[in-house]
Structure 1
Amino acid sequence: MKKEIRIILCGAGRVGREFLKLLDERAEMIESKYGIRPVLSAVAESDGAAVSDGGNGLSIAGLLKHLQNGGTVPDFPIFGVSLMAGPQVIQEIKADVIIEATPTNLSDAEPGMTNVTAALKNGLDVISANKGPFVLFFREVRELAREHDCSVHLSAATAAALPTLDVGLRSLAGSTVLSVEGILNGTTNFILTKMEISGCRYEEALLEAQELGIAEKDPRYDIDGLDTANKLILISNLIFDTDYSLGDVDVCGISRIGQEDIDGAAKRGESIKLIGSIQTSEKGIVLRVAPEAIKRSHPLANVSGSEKAVSYLTDTMDRITVSGGKSSPVGAAAALLKDLINAYS
């Protein structure tokens, strides 16, 4: 007998819609291969929701077509409800899990934090692409999850499609992780790679990244190292059971890297990369984000363009490195789907 998993999606933006597309396209495969039958019970936005409390749930194809034609979630025919936001949906609609895909807010973590809190208090598991609640309020979320016997899955919040947490939490089970190093931001890696390969200035590489849609119009969150730092916090808190926040990370971005730095490193047989690192010692666990000149023999040195990578050093398995993974809404959505399947299959 197939296990039915009822889902509430919070946030129908780019990542949320890509998740719905994958869920719709692969429903039969998920059921036959993994023995679970996902049912979309509700989709919640800030201005309302679409709900179907029972039966086969919402028609994903129908909802996607409605949204593509310019409709909104709360005006979805028959199932749309105005002024019904995430917390009310979570409290009133029967479900097993929320997919938290609202935009990351690193000021107060809203609306994601309220959604996550409501889910855990109502006994729902949480799968999230949103970093905010877990970077700002990790201890509170962890305690709520333990109190209500719920699970929290954050693959999509830590480098999207790159299986960062899968490796650290599952593949290295039984080993002691001694250190973690990662290229966790595609924008900065693209810029540094472009400067190394073409010899262009930092400003020129940044402009090209923006023209290609790799960098945001306001790129400071990426280039100042904050995106890398926040991902590093999640990795540390989940793998090392720390309770770190941004104030616990030594952060330096790439804006001061000049062509002379790139050329000097190349002459020494090195490449400059923005590295997020976690180092363990008897004194504790230290988190750092900074541009580093690493030898070409280092497993992260050849990670180029907008690709990302993470490298774990362990006591029994030596060094394990994974790289690649799609940096896009589709990649993040695929990570959400992966967490859903792994949580219930």
Structure 2
Amino acid sequence: MDVRIVVCGLGRVGKAFVNLLIQKEKDLQNRYGLSLKVVAAVDIGGAAVSPSGLPLKDLMAHLEKGGQVETLPGFGKKGYSGAEALSAAFADLLVETTPTNIKDGEPGLTHLLAALKNKKHVVTAAKGPLVLRYGDLKALAEKAQVKLMISAATAAALPTLDVGLSCLAGTEVISAEGILNGTTNYILTRMHEEGTLYADALAEAQRMGVAEPDPSLDVEGRDTGNKILLIANEVFQAGLSLKDISVTGITRVTPEEIQQAKKQGKVIKLIGKVEKRDGKVFAAVAPIPLPADHPLASVRGTEKAMSYLTDTMDRVTVSGGKSNPVGAAAALLKDIIRI
């Protein structure tokens, strides 16, 4: 089965996704009967387009030499947009990997709307459109009878949604708690285990490439808030927005608080939590002292984890998954296979 893909965004995740298609080509055909063809690769300045499928090795070699998609010999189109590609009859599915923008969701929001209005499946790693317009996008997907797949936007390779939606089918999910940001977990681990000061642990994380030069999205808890919002809306069908979530980051966690937690046999973790109370769904993000026997207490370094509490299966916890572009690309590929 041929699946014709428009990839919007050729940054680290987009490139990792294309490389994964190259590496997995034979395996996808043999195991799933899938031939995944990139018919358009779109970036800021334009696109490379081929209704029969782009030569992916040539595309990656061109990009690695510093070339832009719109200058790929024989296929480049300057100024060609994602919306144009998604209105074309030769496209089946959008893979969205443009940077997360929580202010207005662009350019991802325009791409997702164009795909859904043209009855194309959507597989996205971009959180912005989902955080701002989840309900509208979900309704459009249902009306068009296509899939809106978002697991790559909720902790990359960690299968938070897969567990909550598939593995726990038939249960009532009472609560969900997660360590959903590798940067903050690394910083808190260093503070707990080595007594490192917050500022020093952050600087160390930046030197290692674990933290961004501007780490505010992570350390202020907003990245975790975005992810827990999506989990609340997908798994709990909560219909929440960002204004409904209380978010506290780790910037004010002190050495004294770390030591106090240690004396009590606890460890402080940045937790995103969703829970049902009195028929309503509540979500919050905050640094929480966890007892040693809590399933998230032993999650160290850049690791992430998700723990669900259910009525019939009790507690189910999953941890691990790469927190890097390859992990996010793998989640995108998984969602395509599931469609």
TM-score range, shorter chain: over 0.9
Asked whether 1:79 is paired with 2:88, we answer: no
**Number of equivalences:** 339
Residue number in structure 2 paired with 1:48:
46
Residue number in structure 2 paired with 1:12:
10
Cα deviation 1:212-270 (Å, max 9, x = unaligned):
11111111111111000000010011111122111010111111111111111111110
Indicate if the aligned counterparts of 1:250 and 1:289 stay in contact, CA closer than 8 A.
yes
C-alpha separation in 1, matches of 2:247 and 2:65? 44
Residue number in structure 2 paired with 1:37:
35
Residue number in structure 1 paired with 2:335:
339
Residue number in structure 2 paired with 1:174:
170
Alignment map for 1:249-260 (pairs within 5 Å):
249-260=245-256
Among 22, 25, 34, the alignment partner of 1:24 is: 22
Identity of aligned residues (%): 50
Residue number in structure 2 paired with 1:62:
58
Deviation at 1:40, TM superposition (A): 1.2
RMSD of aligned alpha carbons: 0.8
Alignment map for 1:253-292 (pairs within 5 Å):
253-292=249-288
Indicate if the aligned counterparts of 1:46 and 1:86 stay in contact, CA closer than 8 A.
no
C-alpha separation in 1, matches of 2:200 and 2:248? 20
Residue number in structure 2 paired with 1:135:
131
SS in 2 for 1:178: strand
C-alpha separation in 2, matches of 1:92 and 1:299? 48
Residue number in structure 1 paired with 2:222:
226
Deviation at 1:161, TM superposition (A): 0.6
The gaps in structure 1 that reach 5 residues or longer are: none
Residue number in structure 2 paired with 1:328:
324
> Residue type matched to 1:203 in 2?
A
Indicate if the aligned counterparts of 1:90 and 1:118 stay in contact, CA closer than 8 A.
yes
C-alpha separation in 2, matches of 1:97 and 1:256? 43
Cα deviation 1:93-131 (Å, max 9, x = unaligned):
512110001111100000100000000011100000000
C-alpha separation in 1, matches of 2:206 and 2:101? 22
C-alpha separation in 2, matches of 1:49 and 1:138? 27
C-alpha separation in 1, matches of 2:138 and 2:40? 25
Deviation at 1:182, TM superposition (A): 0.3
Deviation at 1:283, TM superposition (A): 4.2
Residue number in structure 2 paired with 1:315:
311
The gaps in structure 2 that reach 5 residues or longer are: none
Residue number in structure 1 paired with 2:211:
215
Normalised TM-score (structure 2): 0.99
SS in 2 for 1:74: helix
State the 4+ residue runs in structure 1 displaced beyond 4 angstroms: none
> Residue type matched to 2:63 in 1?
L
Indicate if the aligned counterparts of 2:85 and 2:91 stay in contact, CA closer than 8 A.
no
SS in 2 for 1:7: strand
Higher mean C-alpha displacement, 317-326 vs 90-99: 90-99
Asked whether 1:205 is paired with 2:201, we answer: yes
